[in-house]
Amino acid sequence: MAAGAVTTEPSAPEEREKQHLPPKSYADAVEEAPVDQGTHENGESNGNNDGDNSKMNGSNGHQNSTGHKASVLRIVATDSQEENKTNEKKSFRPDLSRGVSKEEYSATGLDDTPKSPPKKPKKTTSQKNIRSHNKSSSDASFPESPIKDSAKDSNIFEKVNGTQNGSKLISVKPAIDNKDLPKEDRPHYEKPSKELQKEEGLASGRIAGQRWGQSGIRFAPMNIPLQRRLQTLVVLLHTLCIAISVSIFFFLCAIPLFWPLLIPYMIYCLTSKASTSGTHSHRLEFLRRSPVWSLFASYFPARLHRSQELPPTRKYIFGYHPHGIISMGAFGAFATEALGFSQLFPGIKNTLLTLDSNFRIPLYRDYALAMGLSSVSKESCENLLSRGGPNNEGMGRAITIVVGGARESLDAQPYTLRLVLKRRKGFVKMAIRTGADLVPVLAFGENDLYDQFSAESHPRIHKFQLLVKKMLGFTIPLFHARGVFNYDVGLMPYRRPLNIVVGKPITVAQSGKPSQEEIDRVHEEYVTELERLWDLWKDKFAPDRKEDLNIFE
């Protein structure tokens, strides 16, 4: 062997045992690295090293030229920088024997690759509870119940079922899910009592997020059956029929091409007597019996009830109560055949009366005449009850008058029944003059279809509405109900039951010039029968009433 050569010891355990050498330590073995010909282990040239390395390579030149490899042992001081880095890496490497490492690490940095492990979180009371829970649990699956903080007795963490790459998740439980917990485990957010506030001088604000849990608008779901959607569509078109008619008319007026047709039509609307003639010349029976109105009546739903049969050899005046906001029940029961009027009262041809001004609205008047509506004027009532029928004297004819009128609509509050009837005696006088029997009709639920401002809480608005009623003949009730896609805001009526009960007829003797005593007597009998209907059916059809029947004015 040449002088200056380095004698290396065998590193294999078997060879060292044959030569009776002690076992080699792991720290010395990792510092030893093989060296190829003319290069270091990092592939750099030997010429880049210092002079001592050049001499060492020169002394080993014979061995390198023959192609043999030599192991060079590098001796590193214990306080060197590389050993400190190695120890630092070892200190951050997680101990796989700990049960908590499965939650703290998710297969990142557990091998020998130079990956930086995540920062070690500080130990908290809740994590201690989690670790103790993992040690005591023999099953690999987590229970569904949330973990509680022993210090605050509130839900902090929630274990999530299922694994992802062998890791099991623990998430913070949101406060909105506290409603799913037992009452004893729910956190209490009640404000301190007044006594405690006085003693401690503590003042608390409102509960955050309380109004979000009590939203004022409830939207309709998307999975509504087709039949209910069609019901809503039909009621919507009927509610907006006047607005739709006026909009279409003004749209046609904006096109000069239609002017030669619109000008004669407007003259005809102003001079026509079809609404007062009593001939029903524009009435279309197939339209009144259309299945569309069955959808209209089933929206609420509405039902028509009779208490006694009416012979077709007499003429009748049906007094409808209350007026409500739009008189939906009167239209469904007496302007259509959706509720089976002709089946309950065979042989009687009924006509629903409305304001004469409605027959001056373009397009809408034609729709009203086709449905068989007529004017509520004195001339119209006399013509309907004195013409037609088997003997051309009006026998078998009937008219329906909403007695309360627009004035009564201002008092249409839900679950109440306030009637404007004491001074309404014109229909009684008309019944005596034409010889028509009076039939009271009470609609349970008509006032429940809409909400509006009350006269007690808004007296100035109520006075303004009465002024409009006196000057124009109609009023503007400030009402609201539900919408097409929600249940709280809109002009659509609520889906509330509507039961229309027809009472017993009050027989009237015909007189061309009735006395005031006769009118008062018949009116009193009419009111008595109306009160009897209320007392008889209020428990069945008005169980949620706020007050009993109230008749005023």
- Whether residue 467 lies inside any domain: the answer is yes
3-class DSSP assignment, residue 86:
helix
The pLDDT, as a whole number, for residue 147 is 46
Q: How far is CA 1 from the centre of its chain?
A: 96
- Whether residue 188 lies inside any domain: the answer is no
- Strands of 397-402's sheet, edge to edge? 302-306, 498-502, 437-444, 316-321, 397-402, 349-354, 374-375
Q: 301 preceded by cis ω (within 30°)?
A: yes
Token pair 């008092």 is found at 411
Domain with 507, as residue range(s), is 226-551
Mean pLDDT in runs of 10 for the chain (553 residues)? 54 74 60 47 43 43 43 47 51 48 44 50 50 48 46 48 46 44 52 63 66 70 91 94 94 95 93 90 93 95 93 95 93 95 94 92 94 94 88 90 88 91 93 95 95 79 78 76 89 94 93 92 95 94 92 83
Burial class (CB in 10 A: 0-12, 13-18, 19+), 434: buried
**C-alpha–C-alpha distance, residues 428 and 433, integer Å:** 9
- Whether residue 385 lies inside any domain: the answer is yes
Tokens of 91: 């200190």
Q: What's the alpha-carbon Rg for the chain, to the nearest Å?
A: 47
- Whether residue 109 lies inside any domain: the answer is no
Token pair 């590098």 is found at 74
**C-alpha–C-alpha distance, residues 382 and 436, integer Å:** 11
Taking alpha carbons only, the member of 395, 399, 423, 424 closest to residue 510 is 395
Cβ proximity of 447 and 540 under 8 Å: no
3-class DSSP assignment, residue 261:
helix
**C-alpha–C-alpha distance, residues 146 and 155, integer Å:** 7
Domain count of the fold of the chain: 1
pTM: 0.62
Task: Number of helices (H) and strands (E) in the chain: give both, helices first.
Answer: 21, 16
- Whether residue 69 lies inside any domain: the answer is no
- Whether residue 25 lies inside any domain: the answer is no
The pLDDT, as a whole number, for residue 529 is 94
**C-alpha–C-alpha distance, residues 73 and 88, integer Å:** 23
**C-alpha–C-alpha distance, residues 379 and 343, integer Å:** 29
The pLDDT, as a whole number, for residue 388 is 81
Indicate the pairing of strand 147-148 with strand 155-164. Answer: antiparallel
DSSP strands (E only) in 422-529: 437-444, 451-452, 479-480, 498-502
**C-alpha–C-alpha distance, residues 46 and 54, integer Å:** 7
The pLDDT, as a whole number, for residue 4 is 47
Tokens of 502: 């027809």
- Whether residue 102 lies inside any domain: the answer is no
The pLDDT, as a whole number, for residue 518 is 94
**C-alpha–C-alpha distance, residues 439 and 350, integer Å:** 13
Taking alpha carbons only, the member of 57, 141, 79 closest to residue 49 is 57
Query: Residue 304 CB: number of other CB atoms within 10 A?
Result: 23
Burial class (CB in 10 A: 0-12, 13-18, 19+), 296: buried
Planar angle of CA 472, 476, 482, nearest 5 degrees: 155
Task: Please list the residues that pair with 502 across neighbouring strands.
Answer: 306, 441
- Whether residue 54 lies inside any domain: the answer is no
